[in-house]
Structure 1
Amino acid sequence: MKEHLFELIATVMQVLQRNVGWMTWNLFLAFIPLALSVWLFRTRRGRSWVWWFGFLVFFAFLPNAPYLLTDVIHLIHDIRSVPSVWMITLVIIPVYLLVISAGFGAYVISLINWGYYLHRIGKSQWILGVELITHAFNAVGIYWGRFLRFNSWDFITQPDAIITKGIEEILGKQPLVIITITFVILTALHWLMKKVILSFLRQPHNGVDIKSRSSNPNTHNAG
Structure 2
Amino acid sequence: MSVLVGNVWWMGWNLVLALVPLGLSRYLFGRRSRPPWLLWTGGVVFVAFLPNAPYVLTDILHVPADMAQTNDDPWLAAAVLAQYAVLIGVGFLAYVLSLVRFERWLAGRGLSPRAVLGIDVALHALCAVGILLGRVFRFNSWDVVTDPWGLAEMLRVPQPRTVVVLVVLFAVLAGGAAVLRALPAILTRVARSV
Pairwise same-fold verdict (TM > 0.5): yes
Aligned to 2:84: 96
Aligned to 1:31: 19
Provide the C-alpha distance between the structure 2 equivalents of 1:152 and 1:117, rounded to a whole number of angstroms.
23
Aligned with residue 57 of structure 2, among 61, 69, 73: 69
Aligned to 2:152: 163
Is 1:185 aligned to residue 145 of structure 2?
no
Q: Is the 8 A contact 1:115 1:124 kept in 2?
A: no
Is 1:152 aligned to residue 141 of structure 2?
yes
Q: How big is the shift at 1:199?
A: 7.0
Q: Is the 8 A contact 2:28 2:34 kept in 1?
A: no
Aligned to 1:196: 183
TM (normalized to structure 1)? 0.79
Summarize the alignment of residues 1-223 of structure 1 with structure 2, pairs less than 5 Å apart: 13-84=1-72, 86-87=74-75, 90-125=78-113, 126-164=115-153, 166-168=154-156, 171-196=158-183
Q: Is the 8 A contact 1:37 1:110 kept in 2?
A: yes
Q: Is the 8 A contact 1:118 1:127 kept in 2?
A: yes
Provide the C-alpha distance between the structure 1 equivalents of 2:67 and 2:80, rounded to a whole number of angstroms.
8
Q: How big is the shift at 1:128?
A: 1.5
More displaced, 188-197 or 79-88? 79-88
- Seen in structure 2, the aligned counterparts of structure 1 residues 147 and 33 have a Cα distance that, compared at 3 Å, is same
Provide the C-alpha distance between the structure 2 equivalents of 1:199 and 1:155, rounded to a whole number of angstroms.
39
Q: Is the 8 A contact 2:67 2:77 kept in 1?
A: no
- Seen in structure 2, the aligned counterparts of structure 1 residues 57 and 105 have a Cα distance that, compared at 3 Å, is same
Provide the C-alpha distance between the structure 2 equivalents of 1:51 and 1:198, rounded to a whole number of angstroms.
32
Ranges of 4+ aligned residues in structure 1 off by more than 3 Å: 197-200
Cα deviations by residue, 1:160-183 (Å, 9 ceiling, x for unpaired): 11111x2135x1101001111111
Q: How big is the shift at 1:88?
A: 5.1
More displaced, 19-28 or 45-54? 45-54
Cα deviations by residue, 1:74-105 (Å, 9 ceiling, x for unpaired): 11111122122622553111111111100000
For residue 151 of structure 1, give the secondary structure of its aligned residue in structure 2: coil
Structure with greater contact order relative to length (CA < 8 Å, sep ≥ 6): 2
User: Aligned letter for 1:159?
Assistant: P
Q: Is the 8 A contact 2:124 2:174 kept in 1?
A: yes
Provide the C-alpha distance between the structure 2 equivalents of 1:42 and 1:114, rounded to a whole number of angstroms.
9
- Seen in structure 2, the aligned counterparts of structure 1 residues 185 and 168 have a Cα distance that, compared at 3 Å, is same
Q: How big is the shift at 1:127?
A: 2.1
Cα deviations by residue, 1:106-133 (Å, 9 ceiling, x for unpaired): 0000000011102211214222211111
What is the RMSD of the two structures over their aligned residues, measured on CA atoms? 1.9
For residue 152 of structure 1, give the secondary structure of its aligned residue in structure 2: coil
TM (normalized to structure 2)? 0.90
